[in-house]
Amino acid sequence: MSKEFRHILRITDTDVDGTLKAPYALSKIKGISLNLANAILKKAGIDPDVRAGFLTDDEVRKIEAIIKEPKKYGLPSWLLNRQKDLETGEDLHLISADLALKVKNDIERMKEIRSWRGYRHAYGLKVRGQRTRTTGRTGKTVGVKKKRRGA
C-alpha cells in the first residue's frame, strides 16, 4: 500500500496508462465512457484529479468491483451500455472482449432475420442513415460522373 507511481496499471485485464488522470485512464478501457468513469470514481470515493499511477491496490480492486457490478453499487441504468439485454432482459454493462463479442452476435442476428440494418451490414453499406451518394465509396465507384455537354 505504498504511494509509489506506476506507469502502467492493470484494471479489468486491460493495461492503463498511469500518467493520465484517473477518469481518462479508465475511459481507455473498451466499454467505459468518460461519464461512466467519473461515476465509478465518485462511487469509489476517489478524487478524479489524481493520476492513475498513484491509485493504490485497494482502490483498483474497488474500481474493478464497481465495473463488474455497476447496478449493485447504485449506478443508473442509463449509464450502462446494454439495457434490456435480448437474452436476459436485464440491464448489463459489458467491457472489452465481452462487448466486442456481443456486438458481433447482434450484427449476425440482424443479418439472419434479414432486418434492414442487417442488410446494410451484410452489403457493407452505411447503417445509420448517412448519405451514400458521395461518401463511403469503395472499389470502382470512386470518382465523379458528369454529364457530357453540348453533343
Grid coordinates standing for 13?
A: 485485464
Segment 30-41 mean pLDDT: 94
Q: To which H or E segment does residue 14 belong?
A: strand 14-17
Answer yes or no: is 40 within a domain: yes
Residue 151 has pLDDT above 90, yes or no: no
Domain check: are 71 and 101 in the same one?
no
Domain check: are 13 and 63 in the same one?
yes
Residue 3 has pLDDT above 80, yes or no: no
The owner of cell 436485464 is 90
Residue 2 has pLDDT above 60, yes or no: no
Domain check: are 66 and 21 in the same one?
yes
- Residue 110 maps to which CATH number? 4.10.910
> Per residue in 39-53, pLDDT tens?
999 999 999 999 999
Domain check: are 58 and 21 in the same one?
yes
Summary mean pLDDT of the chain: 88
Answer yes or no: is 113 within a domain: yes
Residue 135: per-residue pLDDT:
83
**CA–CA separation, 135 vs 121, rounded Å?**
16
pLDDT band at 143 (very low <50, low <70, confident <90, very high): low
Residue 5 in contact with residue 18, Cβ under 8 Å?
yes
Number of domains, the chain: 2
63: containing domain: 8-79
Query: Euclidean distance between the first and final Cα of the chain, in Å?
Result: 83
Answer yes or no: is 2 within a domain: no
**CA–CA separation, 87 vs 61, rounded Å?**
29
Domain check: are 68 and 16 in the same one?
yes
Segment 17-22 mean pLDDT: 93
Segment 23-36 mean pLDDT: 93
Residue 42 in contact with residue 74, Cβ under 8 Å?
no
> Per residue in 53-66, pLDDT tens?
999 999 999 999 99
Residue 34 has pLDDT above 80, yes or no: yes
Residue 59: per-residue pLDDT:
93
